Amino acid sequence: MSHRIAVNGELHLVDAAPETPLLYVLRNDLGLNGPKFGCGLGQCGACAAIVGGRLTRTCSIALGDVGRDKVTTLEGLGSVEKPHPLQKAFMDEQAAQCGYCSNGMIMAAKALLDRNPQPSEDEIKSALADQLCRCGVHNRVVRAVRRVAGERTR
């Protein structure tokens, strides 16, 4: 069955069952490997994207439930040549070790800054609390997000 889906500003026609997790469609059909498969159970946040303006665990939403909501993945923020300020701050602060959680961390930070451009440190920690990282780069991640929030006040 074909579904029309808007991802990173482009419309795609995807031939998949409506119950297919959005994560599989993004990675397997559209070749967007920013979102990662971590737990597949909605528990780790590695697969996060912004769907209809909300931070969403794409392993836990079915393609058929996306409807007309616009999907933004990590690839929709910036590129290697032209990174989004958050992507640049993560690089500058070396806010990754293995990097598996980085997609979710950056997308959660993006969702936070979209609704609160100047969050406090506590607000940053709270917004990222459910994004799991096994390497322990949390402090660097918080510094990266603070860096972007700080730049916005200048």
Minimal distance in Å, beta carbon 133 to ligand FES? 12
Contact status, residue 63 vs residue 56, Cβ threshold 8 Å: no
| 47 lines the binding site for ligand FES (CB under 6 A) | yes
| Smallest gap from residue 51 Cβ to ligand FES (A) | 13
Region of residue 107 (phi > 0: left; psi between -120 and 50: alpha; otherwise: beta): alpha
* Number of residues lying near ligand FES (CB under 6 A): 12
Q: Quick one: 43 or 120, whose CB is closer to ligand FES?
A: 43
Residue 105 contacts ligand FES per CB under 6 A: no
Nearest residue to ligand FES by CB is 59
Q: Which of residues 57-76 bind ligand FES (CB under 6 A)?
A: 57, 59
Minimum gap (Å) between residue 35 Cβ and ligand FES: 8
User: Using CA atoms, how far apart are residues 66 and 50, in angstroms rounded to an integer?
Assistant: 11
SS (H, E, C) 92-145: HCCCCCCCCCHHHHHHHHHHHHHHCCCCCHHHHHHHHCCCCCCCCCHHHHHHHH
- CA-angle at 131, arms to 128 and 133, nearest 5°: 115
- Distance of closest approach, residue 107 Cβ to ligand FES, in angstroms: 11
| Interaction between residue 101 and ligand FES (CB under 6 A) | no
Listed residue (1, 56, 50, 59) closest to 28, CA to CA:
59
Minimum distance from residue 57 beta carbon to ligand FES (Å): 4
Instruction: Name the site residues for ligand FES (rule: CB under 6 A).
Output: 37-40, 42-47, 57, 59
